[in-house]
Amino acid sequence: MEMLINVPETVVADALRGMAAAHPELTVDVENRVIVRSDAPVAGKVALVSGGGSGHEPLHGGFVGPGMLSAACPGEVFTSPVPDQMVRAAAAVDSGAGVLFVVKNYTGDVLNFDMAAELAEDEGIQVAKVLVDDDVAVTDSLYTAGRRGTGATLFVEKIAGAAADEGRPLEQVEVIARRVNEASRSFGVALSACTTPAKGSPTFDLPAGELELGIGIHGEPGRERRPMMTSGEIAEAAVDAVLTDLNPRNPVLVLVNGMGATPLLELYGFNAEVQRVLGERGTAVARTLVGNYVTSLDMAGASVTLCEIDEELLGLWDAPVRTPGLRWGM
């Protein structure tokens, strides 16, 4: 796959310059790699900070704005940001009400956010953390002890962001974020590998005519390779993998997420099959979101994330949000 880039070394900085130009409502510090709501800090409001390797856009920078994240720290492609970015972000957005770090479960992210939390607290910023680990495909993985953090990150950032917007205190926002993560499970499928700018060739080998079930968002190995399956068969495999682990008794939020290169036409068709399988399994659907939200560069494929909700979480999901990547009700 050819890339629309200058040189691999400037991919992240170039993207940040382009974000700054497109989104005057964000303050983008290209040199220090921090994206902040221009109106931060918001008086009395708990701030949410997330971050991770680049290559998953719109996650996380595209989710900065009213109703969701206060700031995001992008690392190099598929590489954790460093603690200094996270501390800078926390300092920029803390109103005195404290900061919640939303951390996907990858070893580098976990270590760096832990260190950043200590440093921020040394500066007098109150910090809480929530770890997102929703991917049911494998326990332990290439970059992770325990389950990987994938699509549920969007649910956590949106719902905890709405709780913070309501003026809830840090401990309550943290509890909400944990509840969302615990109620969420994901399963992803790759139809092709992805190519990082630095490597310039596919990060793993997936022969034509085969797919990988249970893939991670960096192309980490999943559960098994199989000859190509239909959209309906893939929906059955993904939904059943999630339901086996989640077993929801209440309605769910559904995220049908594209890995990057799969056309929206196909994602909507896949959603039809996901909804069919959920109906056959007796799982009620409250809301559905379809699109490219937690991507893996140019990987083809999709993931399914379900989040079991109650009235409170649904109200927070439906609350207004205004970010480059997710926006409604404002």
Active-site residue among 218, 235, 256, 304?
218
Active-site residue among 56, 129, 158, 179?
56
Quick one: which segment of 40-48, 93-101, 107-115, 257-265 binds a second copy (CB under 8 A)? 257-265
How many residues sit in the footprint of a second copy (CB under 8 A)? 67
Residue 250 as a binder of a second copy (CB under 8 A): the answer is no
Which residue from 44, 96, 200, 263 is in contact with a second copy, where contact means CB under 8 A? 263
Residue 131 as a binder of a second copy (CB under 8 A): the answer is no
Residue 3 as a binder of a second copy (CB under 8 A): the answer is yes
Nearer to a second copy, 41 or 325 (CB): 325
x-marked contacts with a second copy along 138-177 as a string, rule CB under 8 A: ----------------------------------------
Nearer to a second copy, 133 or 165 (CB): 165
Give the CA distances from residue 134 to residues 151, 155, 306, in Å, rounded to whole numbers and listed in that order: 7, 11, 9
Residue 39 as a binder of a second copy (CB under 8 A): the answer is no
Residues in 46-75 that interact with a second copy by CB under 8 A: 54-55, 57-58, 62
Which residue from 63, 101, 270, 317 is in contact with a second copy, where contact means CB under 8 A? 270
Q: Catalytic amino acids?
A: 56, 218
**Interacting residues with a second copy (CB under 8 A):** 1-7, 10-12, 14-19, 21-22, 54-55, 57-58, 62, 77, 189, 191-192, 208-209, 211, 228, 230-232, 234, 256, 260-273, 275, 285, 288-290, 292, 295, 297-298, 300-302, 322, 327-330
